[in-house]
């Protein structure tokens, strides 16, 4: 599944980061590397973007970007 | 020769706080801080010939935004004598990612572990000695907000600079990545030397696929061919691509390092937990937007409604007393009446009327600084992103826009953190519609004269008008001039922190100082020129009434343009012309032209020039028309040419004229 499909409060680990160019590199630089555990914290009041928690900090990104990140849910 | 210390770290790791502690708040321009650059430079307290440079915060040395490019260029080309890498210890993993890249620059380096007070508070121990050994650089624990460890840090930084203590090469890569880096290093050693770039940095960047590095090295085709083959080989073996492989290697190294030096993982500190709790309310599904609006309303209420106005009245009473005393002294000394008129009706009336608004501006910047330093601004970006996206922007644009309520110049410079040029230019074109603090004196003067019963309503009305016009323009631009794909929105939400009062006070003081300087330079000169032009006629005879003065002649030429808007009086036209230099000049000009000595008589005189409706149309025009010269110069600098700045200027004048026209005529139907 992709990160945007993960419900708030649910955890998953990153399988791969898709897309290309500067944005992809930024996501990798910020620590969204394979096997990293990510928690979906919440969704913004208007339904987009989403807030995630990884490596001890909070990051926000749009659903569109999250849809390029492949994750596997952790129960 | 002096020593240059460069401070670098992730955004929000406490760079500015540390900079202020090291310098005591004094800033000077030097060869690192060229104009139009957010880099700050200042002398280190109690150390002769030692400079500290604060570079814009960045997460990585791969160029993403203009700020990132600036930081990277200064590190590679400016070659500071020592790098102080500031790390937020509570965000250990992500912060160290930058450290690993900085270590490749072959520059002397020390690591400043900031927020150590929070770490102690949470009983997380860091084995500093082990960390220092593993990274081969000195590690100094500090708490910048409490000024702990600053002294030691300066000591170790200077030592590293003098001994030229460069970090040793550590191998964070293994296997195929290691082989690739190793091979590349043999291949490009000569080229890196020729380009005066650090070899290790170039190697990892090339394996990563960093375009700017490839360009800077000017490699020949055979070398490029070999590199391509190498990378392809590496990718095939790893089953992943080059960028992902490098990031993965760095983070894997950091994770291992964390296990070695941390007593327990920094997953959640008390401060972080508090931050999450605060966000439950502040970015709540339903309450987030109302809370944001309430906060902004409160800020404006304190600025204009109570605190600011009260202080302003106090100051203006004081200024009136001073002017009286000066007038009395001049008369007593028996000076020439023309000189008396210049000092009292010209300089005192003009500069004094502007200066009395100083407290309002100080209060506004106080609140804006608190909002910025507390970590609330990124939350606003998070909450508002979807709305701004409808306007063709992203949530990131909200921060410069909110700063725009203070002053357009820092607001335009704040757009440097936006990653796309399209977003930057559009945000810049809209910022001047966010009514800046320099326009406040104009509103305050007119509401005192015409709308005493509806002061707050008129003020809010003006701010809202500005925002609405910005929205309409953004929508119009989205489908025409600024067509393009929406840019990605990726933003770190830092934990909430109590703003360091020293930083807030310094930022407030910087802006207040700028305002005072402006009052005594631009406004001062403008009032003298205006006084001269309105006191003499074209034959250089002193006139008894300004109606026959040179200024009246000029104003009368421009006046017909504004007649359809309800304020065809030459004095209004003149005020608008002088207002181009600085918005406060509108106030000082009207004060000089109406010959009003104090606030009360100015109100009375204004009612002779304007009706309430035309006064409001005039205010709307002031709100929207071309930004001041300083703003235009900033836009020119940021966009690299006058064309865009003139475009913005023309566009805003036209918009101002149209909206004022509508206000005056539609308003006329109801009144």
Q: Any CB–CB contact under 8 A between B493 and chain A?
A: yes
Q: How far apart are CA B495 and CA B194, in angstroms?
A: 44
> How confident is the model over A2-13, as pLDDT tens digits?
999 999 999 999
* Mutation for testing the B interface, residue in A11, A29, A34 having most B CBs under 10 Å: A29
pLDDT at B320: 84
Start-end of H helices in chain A: 21-29, 63-66
Query: What is the mean pLDDT of the segment spanning B19-30?
Result: 80
- B297 pLDDT more than 90: no
* CB contact (8 A) between residue B288 and residue A29: no
- When comparing pLDDT for B137 and B175, which is higher? B137
Q: How far apart are CA B613 and CA B479, in angstroms?
A: 34
Q: Which domain holds residue A46?
A: 3-74
Contact yes or no for B197/B219 (Cβ under 8 A): no
The three-state secondary structure class of B353 is helix
Which residues, in sequence order, are bridge partners of residue B248? none
- Name which of A47-56, B135-144, B354-363, B578-587 the model is least confident about: B354-363
* CB contact (8 A) between residue B244 and residue A48: no
Exposed/middle/buried for residue B479 (C-beta within 10 Å: 0-12, 13-18, 19+) = exposed
> How confident is the model over B115-146, as pLDDT tens digits?
999 888 888 899 999 999 999 999 999 999 88
SS (H, E, C) B125-185: CECHHHHHHHHCCCEEECEHHHCECHHHHHHHHHHHHHHCCCCCCCCCCCHHHHHHHHHHH
For chain A, the C-alpha Rg in angstroms (whole number) is 11
pLDDT at B527: 77
> How confident is the model over B391-419, as pLDDT tens digits?
888 888 888 888 888 878 878 877 877 77
Number of H helices, E strands in chain A: 2, 5
| Shortest distance, CA B176 to any CA of chain A (angstroms) | 18
* CB contact (8 A) between residue B244 and residue A17: yes
pLDDT band, residue B22 (cuts 50/70/90): very high
What is the CATH superfamily name and number for domain B3-163? P-loop containing nucleotide triphosphate hydrolases (3.40.50.300)
The three-state secondary structure class of B484 is coil
pLDDT band, residue B30 (cuts 50/70/90): low
pLDDT at B33: 59
Contact yes or no for B5/B157 (Cβ under 8 A): yes
Please identify among residues 382-401 of chain B the ones whose CB lies closer than 8 Å to any CB of chain A. Answer: 382-383, 385-387, 389, 395
Question: Prior bond to B355 cis, omega within 30?
Answer: no
- When comparing pLDDT for B636 and B22, which is higher? B22
- When comparing pLDDT for B367 and B312, which is higher? B367
Query: What is the mean pLDDT of the segment spanning B80-103?
Result: 93
- B618 pLDDT more than 90: yes
* CB contact (8 A) between residue A25 and residue B64: yes
The three-state secondary structure class of B9 is strand
* CB contact (8 A) between residue B97 and residue A29: yes
- B343 pLDDT more than 90: no
Chain B nearest-CA residue for A23? B488
Q: Sort out which chain B residues have CB atoms less than 8 A from A46's CB and list them.
A: 383, 385-387
Torsional class of A7: left (φ above 0), alpha (ψ -120 to 50), beta (otherwise): beta
- When comparing pLDDT for B602 and B261, which is higher? B261
pLDDT at B29: 63
pLDDT at B393: 86
* Mutation for testing the B interface, residue in A15, A20, A44 having most B CBs under 10 Å: A44
| Shortest distance, CA B293 to any CA of chain A (angstroms) | 14
Here the tokens at position B61 are: 């040395």
Here the tokens at position B132 are: 């220092």
- B34 pLDDT more than 60: no
Give the highest mean pLDDT range of B31-45, B127-141, B355-369, B640-654. Answer: B127-141
Query: What is the mean pLDDT of the segment spanning B246-269?
Result: 88
Q: How far apart are CA B303 and CA B362, in angstroms?
A: 9
Query: What is the mean pLDDT of the segment spanning B44-67?
Result: 87
- When comparing pLDDT for B210 and B102, which is higher? B102
Q: Any CB–CB contact under 8 A between B524 and chain A?
A: no
Q: Sort out which chain A residues have CB atoms less than 8 A from B62's CB and list them.
A: 22, 25-26, 29
* CA distances, B216 to each of B191, B196, B321, B527 (Å): 9, 10, 64, 52
DSSP string, B260-285: HHBSS--S--HHHHHHHHHHHHHT-T
pLDDT at B423: 85
- B445 pLDDT more than 90: no
pLDDT at B486: 64
- B249 pLDDT more than 60: yes
Average model confidence (pLDDT) across chain B: 86
Label the pairing between strands B82-88 and B50-54.
unpaired
Chain A nearest-CA residue for B395? A49
pLDDT band, residue B609 (cuts 50/70/90): confident
* CB contact (8 A) between residue A62 and residue B492: no
- Name which of B246-250, B337-341, B467-471, B542-546 the model is least confident about: B542-546
Start-end of H helices in B479-583: 501-520, 522-535, 550-562, 570-578
* CB contact (8 A) between residue A61 and residue B266: no
* Mutation for testing the B interface, residue in A57, A62, A69 having most B CBs under 10 Å: A57
Chain A nearest-CA residue for B389? A48
- B49 pLDDT more than 80: yes
Contact yes or no for B75/B82 (Cβ under 8 A): no
pLDDT at B31: 62
- B151 pLDDT more than 60: yes
**How many of the other CB atoms lie within 10 Å of CB of B10?**
26
| Helix, strand, coil % in chain B, rounded to nearest 5 | 70, 5, 25
Which residue in the set A33, A47, A49 is minimally distant from B247, CB to CB?
A: A33
Query: What is the mean pLDDT of the segment spanning A9-20?
Result: 92
* CB contact (8 A) between residue B284 and residue A45: yes
**How many of the other CB atoms lie within 10 Å of CB of B194?**
11
* CB contact (8 A) between residue A45 and residue B288: yes
The three-state secondary structure class of B88 is strand
Which residue in the set A28, A56, A65 is minimally distant from B243, CB to CB?
A: A28
Question: Directed axis angle between helix B501-520 and helix B15-23, to 10°?
Answer: 70
End-to-end CA distance of chain B: 71
- B168 pLDDT more than 70: yes
Question: Directed axis angle between helix B522-535 and helix B570-578, to 10°?
Answer: 150
> How confident is the model over B557-591, as pLDDT tens digits?
888 999 999 988 888 988 898 888 778 888 888 88
Strand order in the sheet with A50-54: A69-74, A11-17, A37-43, A50-54, A57-61, B490-493
pLDDT at B156: 95
Here the tokens at position B515 are: 């305002």
Give the torsion sign (CA, B618, B621, B625, B627).
Answer: positive
Numbered ranges of CATH 3.40.50.300 in chain B: 3-163
* Mutation for testing the B interface, residue in A60, A63, A67, A70 having most B CBs under 10 Å: A60
Of the candidates B166, B119, B395, which has an alpha carbon nearest to the alpha carbon of residue B270? B119
pLDDT at B69: 83
Question: Directed axis angle between helix B612-624 and helix B570-578, to 10°?
Answer: 20
pLDDT band, residue B538 (cuts 50/70/90): confident
CATH, residue A25:
2.30.30.90
Of the candidates B581, B552, B565, which has an alpha carbon nearest to the alpha carbon of residue B615? B565
- B627 pLDDT more than 90: no
Can you give the length of chain A in residues?
75
Give the torsion sign (CA, B144, B146, B152, B158).
Answer: positive
Q: How far apart are CA B465 and CA B296, in angstroms?
A: 16
* Mutation for testing the B interface, residue in A58, A59, A66 having most B CBs under 10 Å: A58
- B36 pLDDT more than 60: no
- Name which of B85-94, B133-142, B519-528 the model is least confident about: B519-528
- Give backbone dihedrals phi and psi of B462, rounded to 5 degrees, phi first: -65, -45
| Shortest distance, CA B64 to any CA of chain A (angstroms) | 6
| Helix, strand, coil % in chain A, rounded to nearest 5 | 20, 40, 35
Here the tokens at position B458 are: 């008129």
- B37 pLDDT more than 70: no
Query: What is the mean pLDDT of the segment spanning B482-508?
Result: 83
CATH class of B175-261: mainly alpha
The helix or strand, by DSSP H or E, that contains position B7, with its residue range, turns out to be strand B3-9
pLDDT band, residue B444 (cuts 50/70/90): confident
Which residue in the set A16, A25, A58 is minimally distant from B493, CB to CB?
A: A58
* CB contact (8 A) between residue B492 and residue A58: yes
CA–centroid distance for B248 within its chain: 34
Q: How far apart are CA B127 and CA B616, in angstroms?
A: 65
| Shortest distance, CA A39 to any CA of chain B (angstroms) | 12
Label the pairing between strands A37-43 and B3-9.
unpaired
Torsional class of B540: left (φ above 0), alpha (ψ -120 to 50), beta (otherwise): left
Q: Any CB–CB contact under 8 A between B90 and chain A?
A: yes
Label the pairing between strands B3-9 and B82-88.
parallel
**Domains held by chain A: number:** 1
Of the candidates B534, B554, B558, which has an alpha carbon nearest to the alpha carbon of residue B546? B534
* CB contact (8 A) between residue A48 and residue B491: no
* CB contact (8 A) between residue B493 and residue A60: yes
Q: How far apart are CA B27 and CA B50, in angstroms?
A: 13
Q: Any CB–CB contact under 8 A between B248 and chain A?
A: yes
Which residue in the set B243, B383, B494 is minimally distant from A45, CB to CB?
A: B383
Numbered ranges of CATH 1.10.287.1770 in chain B: 175-261
Please identify among residues 289-308 of chain B the ones whose CB lies closer than 8 Å to any CB of chain A. Answer: 289
Q: How far apart are CA A14 and CA B83, in angstroms?
A: 34
pLDDT at B32: 66
pLDDT band, residue B263 (cuts 50/70/90): confident
* Mutation for testing the B interface, residue in A9, A16, A34, A46 having most B CBs under 10 Å: A46
Of the candidates A15, A10, A23, A28, which has an alpha carbon nearest to the alpha carbon of residue A62? A23
- How many Cβ contacts (< 8 angstroms) between chains A and B? 129
pLDDT at B522: 75
Here the tokens at position B374 are: 């507390």
Average model confidence (pLDDT) across chain A: 92
- B92 pLDDT more than 80: yes
pLDDT at B598: 67
pLDDT at B267: 74
């Amino acid at each position: 599944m992709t990160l945007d499909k993960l419900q708030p409060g649910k955890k998953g680990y990153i399988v791969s980061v898709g897309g290309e160019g500067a944005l992809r590199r930024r996501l990798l630089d910020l620590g969204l590397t394979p096997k990293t555990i990510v928690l979906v914290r919440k969704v913004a009041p208007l339904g987009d973007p989403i807030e995630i928690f990884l490596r001890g900090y909070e990051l926000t990104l749009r659903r569109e970007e999250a849809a390029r990140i492949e994750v596997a849910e952790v129960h | 020769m002096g020593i240059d210390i460069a401070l670098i770290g992730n955004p929000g790791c406490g760079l500015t706080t540390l900079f202020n502690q090291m310098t005591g708040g004094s800033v000077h321009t030097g060869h690192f801080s060229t104009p139009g650059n957010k880099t700050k430079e200042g002398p280190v307290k109690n150390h002769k010939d030692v400079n500290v440079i604060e570079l814009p915060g960045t997460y990585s040395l791969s160029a993403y935004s203009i700020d990132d490019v600036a930081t990277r260029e200064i590190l590679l080309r400016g070659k500071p004598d020592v790098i102080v890498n500031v790390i937020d210890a509570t965000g250990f993993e992500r912060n160290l990612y930058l450290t690993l890249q900085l270590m490749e620059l072959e520059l002397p380096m020390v690591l400043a572990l900031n927020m150590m007070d929070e770490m102690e508070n949470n009983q997380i121990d860091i084995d500093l000695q082990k960390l220092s050994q593993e990274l081969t650089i000195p590690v100094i624990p500090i708490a910048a907000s409490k000024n702990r460890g600053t002294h030691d840090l300066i000591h170790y930084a200077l030592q590293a600079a003098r001994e030229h203590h460069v970090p040793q090469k550590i191998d964070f890569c293994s296997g195929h990545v290691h082989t690739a880096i190793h091979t590349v290093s043999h291949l490009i050693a000569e080229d890196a030397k020729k380009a005066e770039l650090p070899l290790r940095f170039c190697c990892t960047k090339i394996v990563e696929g960093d375009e700017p590095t490839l360009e800077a090295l000017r490699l020949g085709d055979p070398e490029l061919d070999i590199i391509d083959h190498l990378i392809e080989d590496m990718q095939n073996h790893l089953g992943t691509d080059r960028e992902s492989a490098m990031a993965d290697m760095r983070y894997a190294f950091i994770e291992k390092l964390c296990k070695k030096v941390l007593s327990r993982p920094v997953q959640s500190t008390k401060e972080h937990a508090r931050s999450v709790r605060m966000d439950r309310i502040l970015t709540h599904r339903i309450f987030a937007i109302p809370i944001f609006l309430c906060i902004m309303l409160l800020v404006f209420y304190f600025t204009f409604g109570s605190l600011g106005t009260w202080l302003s009245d106090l100051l203006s009473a004081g200024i009136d007393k001073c002017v009286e005393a000066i007038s009395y002294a001049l008369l007593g000394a028996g000076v020439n009446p023309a000189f008396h008129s210049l000092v009292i009706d010209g300089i005192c009336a003009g500069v004094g009327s502007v200066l009395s608004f100083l407290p309002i501006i100080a209060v506004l910047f106080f609140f804006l600084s608190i909002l910025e330093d507390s970590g609330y601004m990124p939350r606003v970006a998070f909450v508002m992103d979807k709305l701004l996206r409808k306007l063709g922007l992203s949530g990131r644009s909200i921060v410069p826009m909110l700063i725009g309520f203070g002053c357009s110049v820092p607001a335009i410079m704040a757009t440097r953190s936006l990653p796309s040029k399209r977003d930057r230019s559009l945000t810049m074109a809209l910022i001047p519609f966010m009514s800046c603090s320099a326009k406040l004196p104009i509103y305050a003067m007119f509401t005192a004269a015409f709308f005493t019963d509806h002061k707050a309503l008129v003020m809010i009305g003006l701010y809202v008008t500005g925002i609405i016009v910005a929205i309409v323009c953004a929508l119009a631009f989205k489908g025409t001039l600024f067509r393009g794909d929406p840019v990605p929105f990726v933003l770190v939400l830092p934990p909430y922190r109590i703003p360091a009062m020293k930083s807030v006070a310094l930022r407030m003081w910087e802006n207040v100082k700028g305002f005072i300087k402006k009052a005594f330079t631009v406004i001062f000169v403008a009032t003298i020129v205006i006084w001269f032009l309105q006191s003499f006629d074209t034959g250089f005879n002193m006139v008894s009434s300004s109606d026959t003065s040179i200024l009246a002649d000029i104003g009368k030429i421009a006046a017909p343009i504004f007649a359809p808007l309800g304020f065809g009086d030459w004095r209004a036209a003149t005020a608008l012309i002088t207002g181009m230099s600085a918005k406060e000049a509108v106030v000082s000009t009207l004060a000089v032209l109406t010959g009003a000595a104090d606030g009360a008589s100015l109100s009375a005189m204004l009612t002779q020039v304007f009706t309430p409706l035309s006064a409001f149309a005039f205010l709307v025009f002031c709100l929207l028309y071309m930004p001041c010269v300083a703003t235009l110069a900033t836009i020119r600098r940021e966009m690299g040419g006058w064309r865009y700045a003139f475009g913005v200027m023309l566009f805003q004048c036209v918009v101002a004229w149209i909206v004022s026209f509508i206000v005056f005529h539609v308003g006329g139907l109801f009144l």
